[in-house]
Amino acid sequence: MAKSCKRFLFLLLLMVLLVLVGYLGLGILYSGHFTRGTWINGIYCTGKTVEEVNLLLIEQTQIPNFVIIDDNDKTYEISLEEVSCVIDYTSQLYRVMYSQNPFRWIGNDTNDRKLSIEPHILFDEKMLFQAVRKSFPFVVASLKEHDLKIYKDENGYQLYNGMEHVLNEEKTCQLVLQKLEERIYSLHLGEAQCYTDLPLTVDMAETLLLYEQVTDFQQCNIVYDMEEEMIALTPAIVAEWILVNENGEFVLDAWGHLMLRDGAIEEFVNWLADEYDSVGKARTFTATNGKEVVVEGGIYGNEINRKKEIAYLKEAFLAKADEIRIPTYSQKALHRGKNDIGDTYIEIDMTDQKMYYYQDGELLIETDVVTGNMKRKDATPSGVNYVYAKQRNRTLKGEDYASFVKYWMPVKGSIGIHDASWRKNFGGDIYLTKGSHGCINTPSEVMKELYNLVEKGTPVVMFYS
C-alpha cells in the first residue's frame, strides 16, 4: 500500500514536471515568436518570427502611386518604384512581440489578438525629389517666364503676368515628402497653397498701370447691326486704333495717356462700307432655270454714308457709348445684309425671255416677255435694280415713239416694266430683231396682276444667262 502511494505520487510529480517543462518550453519558444491567437493585418502569426510575418505582410501590401493634382484638377502620378520605395513592418512587429507575455499563451485561442499596424516606408529622398521635378506641373513651371509685359495677338493687346501663381518648387517637394511619411498618397497643389505671387519691380508696376489704360481703350461696347450678322468693335479691332511708334511702342500724350491713331476710325468705316455696300457690285444669283449667274451693275443696294458714319463713330467711341448701331445710309435696300435681294423679287432672264415674281420665296408669277431690241442696240441692260415708282395710264415717249400703257413700273432711269397691248406674242427670239426700246414688255393680263402685287422698293434682277 505504501509502495503504491509512493508510485502514484511519483507519477503525479512526473506529470506535473512534464507539464511544467512543456509550458516553460512553449513560453521560451514564444519569447522569439508570436503567441497563440495573434492576428496582424489579417495574417495568423502564431509561432512565426518577426522576419516571417514581415515578409507575409509585405507580400500583401500594395502602395499606390503618388498623385499630384494641379490647380486645374489634372492629375499626374509618380511611381514609387522610381524612387526605390521599400516597405518594412519590422519595428512595428517588434513592438507587438515585446508587448506579449510568452508565458500567458494558455487560453489565447479563445481570446484572439487581432491587431492592425502600419508599415514604415523607406525611399531615396534624392530620387523622390527628382521624380517630383519631372512631373508635368514642374515642367510647366520651368517654362514660365517670370516677367510682366504687354503683347499683341489676334485678340488685341494682352497682359502676360509671369509673376502671379508661381509654383513654389521647394515647398512642393517638402510637402510630397511629408505626405509620404504620413502615408498619404496625394497632394493638391492649390489646396496646399503651393502657388505664390512674386513681388513686382518698379518697371513691372508701371507696365501694369499702362495695361489698365490699354484695357480701357480697347474696350468698346458699340455693335454694328448689319441685319444678317452683328459686327462688334472687339479689342482686336480697336487695338489697331492705338497710336504706336515704328517699334510698336505706345505713344503717350503730355499727360501720359494713350492716343487715337489718325485715320483709324476712317479705316474701319471704309472697311465696313466696302464689305456691305452693294450698289453696282457683282452678285452671284441662282436663276429659276437652275443656272448660277453673276449680275453686275444696277441701282439697287445699300450704300453707307461714310462721312456721317465716321463723324458718329469718333464721337461715340470717345464718349464710351454702349449701343447697337445701325449705320447711316445714303441709300438703303430692302435688306441690309450681304444678301440684300432677299426672297421677294422680280427676276428677268433676258436670254430665256422670261419674267418671274417671287414673294417670300414662293413663285407667284411666271410669264414670257419681250426685252430690248438687240439688232437696234436697244438691249435691256443687266443689273440689279428696283421698282422705284408705280404709275397708271401713262404715255411713254421717245424720239420715234409714244406708247400708252395702263401699268408702268420704272426700274432704272427710263427702263421699266409695262404692259404692251400692241403685242400679240411674247417670248422666244422676238427681242433679237423686234424687241422694245429697252423696257420689259409684259402681257396685259399678267402686268395687271404683277402691278397689284409688287411694292415699291422690290428688287429686280435682270441678266443674260
CATH label of the domain that carries residue 423: 2.40.440.10
Both 354 and 458 in one domain: the answer is yes
Q: Identify whether residues 87 and 120 lie together within a single domain.
A: yes
Residues 35 and 127 reside in one and the same domain: yes
Residues 360 and 453 in one domain: yes
Residue 355, in any domain of the structure: yes
Tell me: do 430 and 442 sit in the same domain.
yes
Decide: 117 and 93 in contact? Cβ < 8 Å.
yes
- Nearest-angstrom CA–CA distance, 65 and 163: 32
* 375 and 405 part of one domain: yes
- Domain for residue 11, yes or no? no
Judge whether 334 lies within some domain. Answer: no
125 and 226 share a domain? no
pTM over 0.75, yes/no: no
Residue 190 counted as domain residue = yes
How many structural domains does the chain have? 4
The C-alpha atoms of residue 169 and residue 176 are separated, in whole angstroms, by 11
Q: Cβ neighbours of residue 20 under 8 Å, at least 6 residues apart?
A: none
Task: Report if residue 118 sits inside a domain.
Answer: yes
Q: Centre a 10 Å sphere on the Cβ of residue 351 and count the other Cβ atoms it contains.
A: 14
- Which pLDDT belongs to residue 2? 62
At residue 3, the pLDDT reads 60
Query: Would you say residue 332 lies in a domain?
Result: no
Domain boundary among 112, 141, 170: 141
In a domain, 282, yes or no: no
Residues 152 and 252 placed together within one structural domain of the fold: no
What pLDDT is stored for residue 5 in this prediction?
64
Residues 349 and 459 in one domain: yes
Domain that residue 171 falls in: 142-201
The answer to whether residues 101 and 189 belong to one domain is no
Q: What per-residue confidence (pLDDT) applies to 259?
A: 96
Distance CA 206, CA 111 (A): 77
> What residue ranges of the chain have pLDDT lower than 70?
1-31, 101-112
Tally the C-alpha atoms within 13 A of residue 27's C-alpha that lie toward its C-beta: 10
Q: Rounded to whole angstroms, how far apart are CA atoms 61 and 116?
A: 13
pLDDT of residue 400: 79
Asked whether residue 325 is domain-assigned, the answer is: no
pLDDT, residue 137, reads 84
What pLDDT does 243 receive? 97
> What is residue 121's predicted lDDT score, i.e. its pLDDT?
80
Show which of 219, 237, 262 is a domain's final residue.
Answer: 262
Asked if 220 and 126 sit in the same domain, the reply is no
- Cell reading at 123: 525611399
Give the orientation angle of helix 169-181 with respect to helix 125-133, to 10 degrees.
130
Whole-number pLDDT of residue 141: 82
Q: What confidence score (pLDDT) does residue 138 get?
A: 85
Last residue of a domain, one of 156, 183, 201: 201
